[in-house]
Amino acid sequence: MKENSKPRLLYFVEAMGGGVFTYIVDLANSLVDDWDVYIGYAVRNQTPQNYRDYFDERVHLIEVKDFARSTSIMKAIKAGQEMKRIAKAIRPDVIHLHSSIAGAIGRVVFNTKKTPVFYTPHGYSFLMQGESSKKRLAYKLVEQFCGKSQATTIACSPGEYQEALKVSKHAVEVDNGINIEQLQELIDTTDASKIDHYDVFTLGRISVQKNPNVFNEVALKLPNLKFLWIGDGELRSELTAPNITVTGWLTRHEALKYSLNSDTFMLTSLWEGLPMSLLEAMYMKKLCVVSDVIGNHDVINDGVNGYVCQTVNVFYNRISMIGGARYSLIDCAYKDVLERYNTKVVSKAYDQLYQAAIKNS
Domain residue extents for the chain: 8-177+342-360, 180-339
Please say if the pLDDT value at position 48 is more than 90: no
In this predicted structure, what is the pLDDT of residue 73? Answer: 82
Please say if the pLDDT value at position 2 is more than 60: no
Instruction: Please indicate whether the domains covering 8-177+342-360 and 180-339 agree at the CATH topology level.
Output: yes
**What whole-number distance in Å separates Cα of residue 170 and Cα of residue 118?**
10
Mean pLDDT of the chain: 92
Mean pLDDT, residues 139-152 taken together:
89
pLDDT tens across 152-211, in order? 999 999 999 999 999 998 999 999 999 999 899 999 999 888 899 999 999 999 999 999
**What whole-number distance in Å separates Cα of residue 281 and Cα of residue 260?**
9
- Give me the percent of the chain exceeding a pLDDT of 90: 73
- Following DSSP, what letter does each residue of 203-258 receive, concatenated? ES--STTT-HHHHHHHHHH-TTS-EEEEB--TTGGG---TTEEE-BS--HHHHHHH
Please say if the pLDDT value at position 59 is more than 90: yes
Q: What is the CA radius of gyration of the chain?
A: 20
- Residue partners of 287: CB distance under 8 A and separation at least 6: 263, 264, 265, 306, 307, 322, 326, 329, 330
**What whole-number distance in Å separates Cα of residue 70 and Cα of residue 190?**
39
Task: Say which amino acid occupies 239.
Answer: L
In this predicted structure, what is the pLDDT of residue 9? Answer: 98
In this predicted structure, what is the pLDDT of residue 124? Answer: 83
Mean pLDDT, residues 23-31 taken together:
94
Please say if the pLDDT value at position 68 is more than 70: no
CA 337 to chain centre: 15
User: What is the CATH T-level fold of the domain 8-177+342-360, as seen in this structure?
Assistant: Rossmann fold (3.40.50)
pLDDT tens across 212-261, in order? 999 999 999 999 999 999 999 999 999 999 999 999 999 888 999 999 99
Task: Say which amino acid occupies 232.
Answer: D
- Give me the percent of the chain exceeding a pLDDT of 70: 98
At 332, the pLDDT band (50, 70, 90 cuts) reads very high
At 1, the pLDDT band (50, 70, 90 cuts) reads very low
Of 25, 48, 34, the C-alpha closest to 4 is: 34
Superfamily of domain 180-339: Glycogen Phosphorylase B; (3.40.50.2000)
Please say if the pLDDT value at position 289 is more than 90: yes
Among 3-7, 29-33, 334-338, name the one with the lowest average pLDDT: 3-7
In this predicted structure, what is the pLDDT of residue 136? Answer: 82
Task: Give strand pairing partners of 235.
Answer: none
CA 304 vs CA 193, 300, 301, 326: distances in Å = 31, 8, 5, 10
In this predicted structure, what is the pLDDT of residue 70? Answer: 58
pLDDT tens across 92-119, in order? 999 999 988 899 999 999 988 889 999 9
Q: Which residues of 84-99 are buried (b: 16+ CB within 10 A; e: fewer)?
A: eebbeebebbbbbbbb
In this predicted structure, what is the pLDDT of residue 17? Answer: 82
* More confident: 89 or 326: 89
In this predicted structure, what is the pLDDT of residue 4? Answer: 60
